[in-house]
Structure 1
């Protein structure tokens, strides 16, 4: 099945741009992963997700629709298996600088299999990441079959996703910088809004400020809704012209070194009606009780219940998660909710260094929607709100 010899290439020149994290930070991550591998009895770990490959090696490109993998052993620098033309991002601009490139006519799984044969004996146990979006079941099964056929033992695992949940000081610094960009972009969105203004103009102002202040591309676009479109979840700008009496919703993701700090605010053109004000009050008070309850050792399901109890005071029902982990982000998501979300069934405890986007919100049938959100950090003693922007409904 292997079309040719797949050789490991090494980048020997200085990186084209400064790496987002220190050498010590990458070493810390790699050693933490190896501890997990030793505990699980895994000799070689293969990661497929762009978030995890970036986390481990600094390889960064949006062209991850092509199969890519990071092969980690116990005693060598991680090696990325990447489409040939995108391997440049590892060779010239990553921490690891080791890559196996495959051509477009090659089967990518053949390249991964060939690399495993170079770095591991046939009786080794190979851990295969089982939570990645961009490896099809067909190819996952193909790799498993090749490895087992060659005498390797395989096991499905997801250690990097778990490690990413607790952020280091360097990662938290990126999230703080991203929050400052989110706040500036929110101010721009609100400043651009008004009767007669097109949603597209608001979105353009958001993008201008996000990028102009050093922001990178987010895993999801900013969300801009108004008037009757407020009943739509995760809706982008539509060209609609804002009218007097409209409600407005803006959710904005500042990103620094691939780390995101989202923020959601709502408002109105002219004075809001009493019903909309009451919905805003419910969201704001939920944020208050949530941030007061978040601390190390708190169980995610119990935090969710705090939000449920607060909403019940307003005769409202919580019908989605209270929040989700955020950190490294690539499309199709800016969150890490697939790794940890605050829901009624999640029994894991919160730890210092975890970062969440809290999203208390409510949809009222097909009429409207409101969410007021914050990005928050679990500290050693409680909760720090990282995003700083006034919570009350804005009026334009």
Structure 2
């Protein structure tokens, strides 16, 4: 699988994608695959691929360890349908579960697999979603302004055409890291008075009229706007927070959790979660002001800092360039209370309580 971006880095659409401008459709390649496999170090048992996508990690796990069973989860009906040949190929060692990875503990319980040995999460949108114009994730080709990873809920077009101007500005600034968020929101608000904005090309052209990029930059002016809308439509950061806590609940002592992120918003959440759960967040921080001074260590870190792709992998797959892998091992400790303060990292600031709006 593959997913994406960062504020000070080159912004990208998500799960392993590079900046869309100038990028062509390319096969779905799992990012940091060797690092993920080595970190998980499977020896039989049950592994969960919480973000199945095209099945890159799942196939590699099943191939590397003939004694391993895998349960794979995806909210995208297309991914589940495309994965059925893989189920047949591995003859009873793979089960596919439709649903959101933030509810992986519930899904596993319903599948009679309440505890597992390994969990891998690859965060964001997949390449095959980006590369299909009808999904509406990309501005490379015109398509309906959809962006939904699943088949339910409001689309990006609904958000663009119905959210008030201030809410749009918040989404673009905090989720898209778009410095011109107010101007873009204002332009959208004015444009929709003349008619609904229904396609990716309409929105990309509108944003390009407001946002200017550095001379020589390969980043399309609409990259950050599309990122912000996509994250909001799919509640991606909220799903990540829920998935981390769910993985903590289902992992056996000694079980391992590996998380691949592609932009700073995702990585910050994973970093803070592991810091708090490994006892390294002894003091309250500006990111987790409500975290307790001392926490139960439910995880031991396996990576002191993030593992990054090497030059060779980036050359083979430019979409890997912003990827980061963090991993930890479950301890014998009971599951602590959820880190409610972590939810703040996934949410828009509340202006009524002093949040920062742009």
Do both proteins adopt the same fold according to a TM-score greater than 0.5, normalized to the shorter chain? no
Structure ranking higher in strand proportion: 1
Greater gyration radius: 1
**Higher relative contact order by CA 8 Å / sep ≥ 6: 1 or 2?**
2
Structure ranking higher in helix proportion: 2
The TM-score with structure 2 as length reference comes to: 0.31
